[in-house]
A and B are shown apart, each in its own frame.
Chain A
Amino acid sequence: MNTTRTVEIGVGLFVAAGLAALFVLAMKVSNLSAFNTTGGYEIVARFENIGGLKVRAPVTAGGVRVGRVAAIGYDSERYEAVVRLAIDPAFDRLPRDTSASIFTAGLLGEQYVGLEPGGDERFLKADDEIRITQSALVLEQVVGQFLFSKAAEGPSEK
Chain B
Amino acid sequence: MNDGLAALGRWGLGVFQRLGRGHLFLAHVLAGLPTLLPRPGLVIAQLHAVGVLSLVIIVVSGLFVGMVLGLQGYNTLVDFGAEESLGVVVALSLVRELGPVVSALLFAGRAGSALTAEIGLMKATEQLAGMEMMAVDPLQRVIGPRFLAGFLAMPLLAAIFSAVGVFGGYFVGVGLLGVDDGAFWSQMQAKVDLHEDVYNGVIKSVVFGFVAAWIAVFEGYDAPPTAEGVSRATTRTVVHTALAVLGLDFVLTALMFGE
Contact = CB atoms under 8 A, between A and B. Distances in A.
A and B touch in the complex (CB under 8 A): yes
A138 interface: no
A26 B156 contact: no
| Residue among B91, B160, B162, B164 having the largest count of chain A Cβ atoms under 10 Å | B160
B45 interface: yes
Interface string A1-41: 00010011011011101111110111011111011000000
Q: Interface of chain B, helix or strand or loop or mixed?
A: helix
Contacts of A96: none
A11 B44 contact: yes
A56 B48 contact: no
A28 B164 CA distance: 12
Interface residues of A, number: 25
A36 to B, nearest CB: 10
A26 B195 CA distance: 9
Interface of B: 41, 44-45, 47-48, 51-52, 55, 91, 95, 153, 155-157, 159-160, 162-164, 166, 185, 188-190, 192-198, 201-202
A30 B47 contact: no
Contacts of B48: 7, 10-11, 14
B166 A18 contact: no
Contacts of A19: 156, 159
Contacts of A29: 91, 95, 162-163, 166, 188-189, 192, 198
Contact of A17 (B41, B45, B55, B162): B55
B193 A10 contact: no
A109 to B, nearest CB: 10
A11 B193 contact: no
Contacts of A15: 47, 51, 156
A30 B157 CA distance: 19
A30 B155 contact: no
Contacts of A17: 55, 156, 160
Given A22-B156, A30-B197, A32-B194, 18 more contacts: A4-B41, A7-B44, A7-B48, A11-B48, A14-B48, A17-B55, A18-B160, A20-B163, A21-B162, A21-B164, A24-B163, A25-B95, A25-B159, A25-B163, A29-B192, A31-B193, A34-B194, A34-B195
Contact of B156 (A18, A24, A56): A18
B47 to A, nearest CB: 5
Contacts of B166: 24-25, 28-29
B157 A18 contact: yes
A7 B149 CA distance: 14
Contacts of B194: 26, 30-32, 34-35
B192 A30 contact: yes
A22 B163 CA distance: 8
Given A11-B44, A14-B52, A31 B156 contact: no
A14 B156 contact: yes
